[in-house]
């Protein structure tokens, strides 16, 4: 709708006002809500990853002990990784990708929020200066 506004037509105050109201009430609220949920998800992911890495370290120590014990009986494949180690690595990679996207979204919210607030202030100023639009509040 913003792209459809005609800059040559100066009487688009009502449309700008409607878009401002949408941006302030719906868009910004939704962005902040999503941001809160992403922060929670990121914290859960970090916590889970930390737990799995600790568990992997513990199991790795146990695996090392069993590998030494097995080596007395047969040769061991050094390239073999435990399921937990592979899962932890996969989760770490996914968490890093998620966090990179979250950081990008967070930067977008931090950039857009002041712009929306400025737009609301501009709209309020226009309404206070132009009596035709004062009743549209």
CA–CA distance, 103 with 38 (Å, rounded to integer): 10
Per-residue model confidence as pLDDT tens digits over 6-46: 556 655 666 777 777 778 888 888 888 988 888 888 888 88
Predicted local confidence at residue 1, as pLDDT: 54
Say if residues 30 and 105 touch (Cβ distance below 8 Å).
Answer: no
Q: Cβ contacts of residue 6 below 8 Å, gap of 6+?
A: 12
CA–CA distance, 110 with 116 (Å, rounded to integer): 11
pTM of the predicted model as reported, rounded to 2 decimal places: 0.52
Predicted local confidence at residue 115, as pLDDT: 85
Mean pLDDT of 42-67: 78
Structure confidence at residue 73 as a pLDDT band (50, 70, 90): low
DSSP codes joined into one string, the chain: --TT--TT----HHHHHHHHHHIIIIIHHHHHHHHHHHHHHHHHHHHHHHHHHHHHHHHHHHHHHHHHHHHTTS---TT---HHHHHHHHHHHHHHHHHHHHHHHHHHHHHHHHHHHHHHHHHHHHHHH-HHHHTT-
């Amino acid at each position: 709708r913003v792209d459809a506004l005609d800059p040559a037509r100066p009487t688009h105050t009502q449309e700008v006002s409607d878009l401002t109201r949408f941006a302030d009430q719906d868009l910004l609220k939704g962005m902040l809500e999503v941001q809160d949920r992403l922060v929670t998800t990121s914290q859960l992911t970090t916590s889970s990853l930390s737990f799995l890495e600790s568990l992997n370290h513990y199991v790795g120590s146990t695996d090392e002990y069993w590998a030494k014990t097995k080596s007395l009986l047969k040769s061991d494949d050094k390239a073999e990784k435990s399921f937990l180690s592979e899962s932890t690595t996969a989760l770490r990679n996914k968490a890093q990708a998620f966090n990179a996207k979250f950081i990008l979204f967070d930067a977008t919210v931090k950039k857009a929020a002041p712009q929306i607030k400025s737009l609301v202030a501009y709209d309020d100023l226009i309404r206070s200066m132009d009596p035709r639009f004062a009743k549209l509040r």
